[in-house]
Amino acid sequence: MREYTSPAKGDLPPDTRLTNTVFARAAEEPEAVMFRRQENGQWRDVTCARFRDDVVDVAKALIAAGIEHGDRVALMSRTRYEWTVIDYAVWTVGGVTVPIYDSSSEEQVHWILSDSDSKAVFVETAEHAALVKAVAGDLPELGDVWQIEGGGLGELIGSGSGVDDSAVEERRTAVTLDDLATLIYTSGTTGRPKGCELTQRNLTFDVMSVNSGPMHQVFSLPDRSSLLFLPLAHSLARIIQVGCVETKTVMGHFPSTGPELIDALATFKPTFLLAVPRVFEKVYNKAEQKAVSEGKGKIFHAAAETAIAYSKALDSGKVGFGLRAKHALFNRLVYGKILAAVGGEAKYAVSGGSALGDRLGHFFRGIGLTILEGYGLTETSAPATANDPATNRIGTVGRPIPGTSIRIAEDGEVLVKGDNVMRGYWKNPEATKNAFTEDGWYRSGDIGELDDDGFLRITGRKKEIIVTAGGKNVAPAVIEDRIRGHAIVSQCMVVGDNRKFVAALVTIDPEAFEFWKKQHGKTGTVAELVDDPDLRAAVQEAVDDGNRAVSKAESVRKFAILPVDFTEAGGQMTASLKLKRHVIAKQFSAEIDALYAD
């Protein structure tokens, strides 16, 4: 059993609240820019005073609507400025925000609204409103449904005009550190999602620890800014939102990770980013595809290898003259063009949700964008560990954030203790009891290793461990992440429980597939080409690379290319892009059986 604790940087004052900075900055520096908001393709500054006033306007409307201290208010919307306004308004009146992914199904919406006993719900669109109203008859606690678009938010604000400022301040200052701040429902890869009770203490402690610890350098850059495009219903994006507010980092919102994001990044020019590994994989893959299509593939690959070698040399403290010269050349010819895809000003990025992979980590640091990997769960208010720029150890998820402890149990499970750990699961005492050890450590369900310096490496998920017929324990995440990092691959799921060997189901990336067809003179859909020798050879390269990361007994011996991708709409992925393994195994049972038919 190993354990590592990072000392706390200080204590939270007893009157700490998530809303304090919003109101303090509005009073002390009202004209300072707090957000930038996109309107008609242009980014417009939102001052501290303007944001505070927007929050107060919605808070007054909530008071007028009868929302009391501790009431749950749901919020179903894409990432946008109003999301943050509503979130802080709910906190201002002492309420509890209950995020719902905008892509949620009717059944998911019903469960979250029902289980949380939400008294009201904000929705973004008329489609969302119709979804809520379709289930509202079965929700006796639910009252108002307020729509952000179509003038609905303006009408709501007007209803609070009779509420005095003093009533808002009275409600705001009545909030305590141990009041519930949000109920975030887990993505539910198995069973019904559980509501994680995160308090004002949980969130403020986490933000204070991250900002004073691993992210201090990032949040100290001059003219710092970040464009948030991941769903704010996700706990990591939520913590970054609060972190930006607390550190005077100008923040923008963008509702999509689609192709239009590139244009938004180019005009916003953030100094740091928050993304999942898939975003960084796509940046790399698109740059590679562009170079190949222009006949510059050899130059790109030489530049990529140079960047990786340069980053690795930084770890050793010895960058040779020849490598330094090659790096300087490619910095002028190649690297700047790649970084332009994320706005050209970003120096740092935070990656979470799954493993980035050593190769991509070294590549991006080598071209000038240091990606800091961290680790956490909804239950730990997002980050429990994180790398920092000064001691970034690529391939790990860093050390525990200040005031947090990590312990590795006898069976390899990662245990967490600290003020960032949730109070428990909403209305679920049995699940809460099972989530903690007798001495108060949170059971993460993840398998990991701690090195002598306290850096954590995640090697798998306890429930996902595959036990082959030969008795070999296989953690699928390591090889899946490696295979998924290749351009042609969209998703990968390793199988082999009680089987003779390990195999994999692989789906094809739609954008990379179109490029691949042009390069190989092919026509047809993925479904028509699943047995194409050239396509299988491309996937085999990815599998071979993945196999190099594991032992022979853990390696993938066979794979099947599936005719469709895994998606949330298809039921194979959660809203936070995790595989629903039991669903996939059931949907593609014939393909799995065929892999073991011989």
CATH number reported for the structural domain that contains residue 487 in this entry: 3.30.300.30
What SS3 class is residue 286?
helix
What SS3 class is residue 447?
strand
Q: Are 74 and 116 in contact (CB under 8 A)?
A: yes
- Mean of the pLDDT values across residues 401-412? 96
Res. 296 pLDDT band, cuts 50 70 90: very high
DSSP state for residue 579 in the 8-state scheme = B
In a domain, 1, yes or no: no
**One domain for residues 209 and 135:** no
Closest CA to 183 of 202, 201, 199, 197: 197
DSSP state for residue 341 in the 8-state scheme = G
Q: What is the 3-state secondary structure (H, E, C) of 241-282?
A: HHHHHHCCCEEEECCCCCCHHHHHHHHHCCCEEEECHHHHHH
DSSP state for residue 401 in the 8-state scheme = P
**One domain for residues 276 and 360:** yes
**One domain for residues 446 and 511:** no
Lowest mean pLDDT among 64-68, 248-252, 283-287, 386-390: 283-287
Does position 189 have pLDDT exceeding 70, yes or no?
A: no
- Mean of the pLDDT values across residues 160-176? 97
Amino acid at 357: G
DSSP state for residue 31 in the 8-state scheme = T
Between the CA of residue 138 and those of 122, 133, 144, 374, what are the distances in Å? 18, 10, 14, 40
Q: Are 203 and 239 in contact (CB under 8 A)?
A: yes
- Please provide the average confidence, as pLDDT, over all residues in the chain: 94
Amino acid at 332: R
Per-residue pLDDT, 356: 86
In a domain, 495, yes or no: yes
What are the tokens at 363?
């590549």
Domain boundary pick from 175, 193, 217: 175
**One domain for residues 30 and 119:** yes
- Mean of the pLDDT values across residues 222-241? 95
**One domain for residues 155 and 244:** no
DSSP state for residue 39 in the 8-state scheme = E
**One domain for residues 442 and 528:** no
Better pLDDT: 149 or 475: 149
**One domain for residues 113 and 238:** no
Q: Are 384 and 442 in contact (CB under 8 A)?
A: no
What percent of the chain has a predicted confidence (pLDDT) above 90?
Answer: 82
**One domain for residues 451 and 550:** no
List, as one string, the DSSP characters of 313-340. HHHHT---HHHHHHHHHHIIIIIHHHHG
User: What is the tally of helices (H) and strands (E) in the chain?
Assistant: 22, 26
In a domain, 181, yes or no: no
Does position 363 have pLDDT exceeding 90, yes or no?
A: yes
Q: What is the pLDDT of residues 496-508, one digit of tens each?
A: 988 989 999 999 9
Work out the widest C-alpha separation in the chain, in whole angstroms.
Answer: 76
Distance CA 406, CA 384 (A): 8
Distance CA 118, CA 525 (A): 45
- Mean of the pLDDT values across residues 15-22? 98
State how many domains the chain has: 3
Bridge-based pairing state of the strands 225-228 and 250-253: parallel
What percent of the chain has a predicted confidence (pLDDT) above 70?
Answer: 99
What are the tokens at 374?
């961290």
Distance CA 391, CA 148 (A): 43
Distance CA 179, CA 292 (A): 55
- Mean of the pLDDT values across residues 174-188? 92
Q: Of how many residues is the chain composed?
A: 598
Cβ partners under 8 Å of residue 474, min gap 6: 465, 466, 467, 468, 494, 496, 502, 550, 553, 554
Domain that holds residue 19: 15-175
What is the CATH number for 237? Answer: 3.40.50.12780
Res. 470 pLDDT band, cuts 50 70 90: confident
Q: What is the pLDDT of residues 528-562, one digit of tens each?
A: 999 999 999 999 999 999 999 888 888 999 999 99
Burial 362-375 (b: 16+ CB within 10 A, else e): bbbbbbebbbbbbb
Does position 231 have pLDDT exceeding 90, yes or no?
A: yes
In a domain, 150, yes or no: yes
**One domain for residues 492 and 442:** no
The DSSP bridge partners found for residue 375 are 385
Closest CA to 556 of 487, 488, 481, 490: 481
Lowest mean pLDDT among 8-22, 241-255, 257-271, 404-418: 257-271
Better pLDDT: 120 or 472: 120
Between the CA of residue 128 and those of 134, 146, 319, 333, 348, what are the distances in Å? 10, 10, 55, 47, 35
In a domain, 78, yes or no: yes
Lowest mean pLDDT among 180-189, 266-275, 446-455, 487-496: 180-189
**One domain for residues 171 and 228:** no
- Mean of the pLDDT values across residues 134-158? 93
In a domain, 433, yes or no: no
Better pLDDT: 1 or 531: 531
In a domain, 402, yes or no: yes
**Span between the terminal Cα atoms of the chain, in Å:** 42
Per-residue pLDDT, 229: 94
Q: What is the pLDDT of residues 560-594, one digit of tens each?
A: 999 999 998 899 998 878 899 989 999 999 999 99
**One domain for residues 211 and 160:** no
Per-residue pLDDT, 463: 83
Res. 188 pLDDT band, cuts 50 70 90: low
In a domain, 564, yes or no: yes
**One domain for residues 30 and 170:** yes
Distance CA 114, CA 185 (A): 12
Per-residue pLDDT, 190: 57
Give the helix/strand (H/E) hosting 492.
strand 489-495
CA of residue 85 relative to chain centroid, distance: 21
Res. 417 pLDDT band, cuts 50 70 90: very high
Q: What is the pLDDT of residues 308-336, one digit of tens each?
A: 999 999 998 899 999 999 999 999 999 99
Per-residue pLDDT, 462: 85
